[in-house]
Structures are given as structure tokens and as C-alpha cells.
Amino acid sequence: MKIIVTGGAGFIGSNFVYYMLDKHPDYRIVCIDCLTYAGNMSTLAKAMENPRFVFYKTNICDRAGIFAIFEKEHPDVVVNFAAESHVDRSIETPEVFLQTNILGTQVLMDACRKYGIARFHQVSTDEVYGDLPLDRPDLFFTERTPICTSSPYSASKASADLLVHAYYRTYGLPVSISRCSNNYGPYQFPEKLIPLMIANALGEKPLPVYGKGENVRDWLYVEDHCNAIDLILHGGCEGEVYNIGGHNEMRNIDIVKLICAKLDKSEELITYVTDRKGHDLRYAIDPTKIHRELGWLPETRFADGIEKTIRWYLDHTDWWKTIVSGEYRDYYERMYANR
């Protein structure tokens, strides 16, 4: 089996590359990534030594470039992780989100149509469902929850999902879609909540909590997400959507306090800043369908996952310190200066 993994130099894509190389010793992985600020070749250093792995630095919006890769590689399956993924950046500059997340997905599906494919899998997000109220813990996102987006990021991901479904209905493209909750783990870019708080706490810098910190996210260790996608590729039905989440809801402020405690840092570092525009209150996935149909269950408890993640950031300071000293520093100053 030959799998094209787009966005494989990013957080979840790289974890998926390593997961699949390890789990399926006969599979070949073709990684396509244009290396935006979020893509990092040092993340893929180990994979580059593997003869079953090949890397193309190509933008998924580059039709000729993508078609040339399909012409050469003839993949069996495509898993599309490539995306602009940060909500705050989408509020600042929406356009590139529409280009990559919608038009890039279209280019990939056009290539799948031309060259033939056993499965095109779109990695989507629970953010397409909007949010749930804080005072209704009985409510969850199911695959039937209406799409109702809040940010340019989630709108672009929802648009891509609709296009994927349209290619299934109109052209019979064999597609599947997964909508996962918040991931955490190794190689996550330090602009996202957990690695940002770890990096700032280690540097004794302020820990910027949006609003009152009461917003709730449903955290899943990244390896459990990779395992779920693997199961969908092998046993999931064409044209179907699968929600992925492990019933692990936590308030942002509790996560930040936990990180302070684990790193033995003072909670006085916590700084409440202006809330995110359109900030979704609560995400919570109902994973009944993927559990019932594919037997998926998360394997990593949050207590263990956060321990492993903090350990990883402590052991890989070079990885994230290089990042926080580059383009990211300008972004950080712009995003947090007057907040």
C-alpha cells in the first residue's frame, strides 16, 4: 500500500507518518508538504532515513506539481492533513485558510479523480459543528449535528468537508471524513495552548489565558487520533463521517494550572488577556459511531498523555526553541502585545 500524507511535516501529520511506518512495515509513505511556518523538516529527520518514505516540498494548491507527483507515485490512498490550522491566525488573515483548506483539497481530489484512488481521507475537525453551551454537559457533537462555524478556520474546514461530500456524490470519489477534537502530544507547534503554556512556563514568561479561561476543550492524545484514522482507512465506509474524541473535557484554566504544577512554576505567571473573537465555548465529541463500527477507543489517559507530552518538550528544547526564535517571535508579539 502506498499512502500520500499531505501536511506530514506538521504536528498530527508527522505523528501519523511515524505511526504508519511503524505499524505497517510493508507500507510506503509519500509525504507532501510545502513547509509553511508550521512545517518542520527536523520533525521528519528520522523518517527521511527510512527507504519506505519519500518527501516532496510542494504546495497542495499547485495543480501541476500535485498531478506530477500522482503521475510518478500512483498512490493507493491519500490522507489530507495539510491545512492552515490555527484559529487566531485565521482571524488575522483568513485568505490563505480558504486557499489551502478549500482549494488545496479540491486540487488533491481532482488528482485522485484523474489517477484513480482507493480512498481519499479528509482530516477535518470538531470545530465545524460550532460550539456547545457550558451549562449543558449532556450535549455532545454527533455526526448529525448541523454544521455551524465560528471562525474563518472552521468555515474553511467545513467548506472542504462539503466539497469532499460533493465529490463523493457527483463523481463517486471514494472518500471518508474524520472530525477530531483537540489533539496534544509531541511536535505540536508552540502557538497552540498546551505547548505554548509549557514553553512560556519554562521561560518564566506570562501565561496568556483568553477571557476567564472557562472555555472547554475535549483533549485527545495524538497517537489515538492516528490509530482512529488508520482504522477508518481500513474498515471505514465510503462517504461516511466519523467523529473522534475520548470524552476528556477540560477547562483551559485547569490545563494551565496543571502545567504550572507539573513544571513547579508559580500560578502568578497566569495572565488573563482579551478573549478570542467569536471564541467557541465548549467542544465535546460523541464517539459512539467509531467505537461501535470500528472498535476504536482511546488508549492514553490524559494524566499519562500530559506527562509524556511535558517530558517530550523538556527533552526536545532544541526543537521548539529554534521555532520560537524565528518567524514565530514576530507573530507572538503581534498577537499578544496589546491583548
- CB distance 1 to 75 below 8 Å: no
Q: How many residues bind ligand DAU (CB under 6 A)?
A: 19
| Binding of ligand NAD by 250 (CB under 6 A) | no
- From the list ligand DAU, ligand NAD, none, which binds 284 (C-beta under 5 to 8 Å, kind-based)? none
> What is residue 245's three-state secondary structure?
coil
Find how far residue 289's CA is from the centre of its chain.
20
x-or-dash string of contact with ligand DAU, 242-281, rule CB under 6 A? ----------x-----------------------x-----
CA 124 – CA 142 distance, rounded (Å) = 14
Q: How many residues does the chain have?
A: 339
CA proximity to 124, closest of 43, 198, 180: 180
- If binding is defined by CB under 6 A, does position 80 make contact with ligand DAU? no
**By CB under 6 A, is residue 255 in contact with ligand NAD?**
no
Task: Pick from 80, 101, 125, 156 the residue near ligand DAU by CB under 6 A.
Answer: 125
Q: Restricting to residues 183-242, which ones interact with ligand NAD according to CB under 6 A?
A: 183, 189
Say which of 153, 168, 184, 313 is annotated catalytic.
153
Measured from the CB atom, the residue of 27 and 272 that comes closer to ligand DAU is: 272
Active site (annotated) includes residue 126: yes
Select the binding partner of residue 215 from ligand DAU, ligand NAD, none (C-beta < 5 to 8 A, by kind). Answer: ligand DAU
Query: What is the DSSP secondary structure assignment for residue 268, as one 8-state letter?
Result: G
Q: Which residue's CB atom is positioned nearest to ligand DAU? A: 125
d(CA 242, CA 229): 9
If 0-12 CB within 10 Å is exposed, 13-18 middle and 19+ buried, where does residue 278 land? middle
Site residues for ligand NAD, window 17-36 (CB under 6 A)?
A: 33-36
Q: In the structure grid, which three cell numbers stand for residue 88, read together?
A: 487566531
- The residues carrying an active-site annotation are 126-127, 153
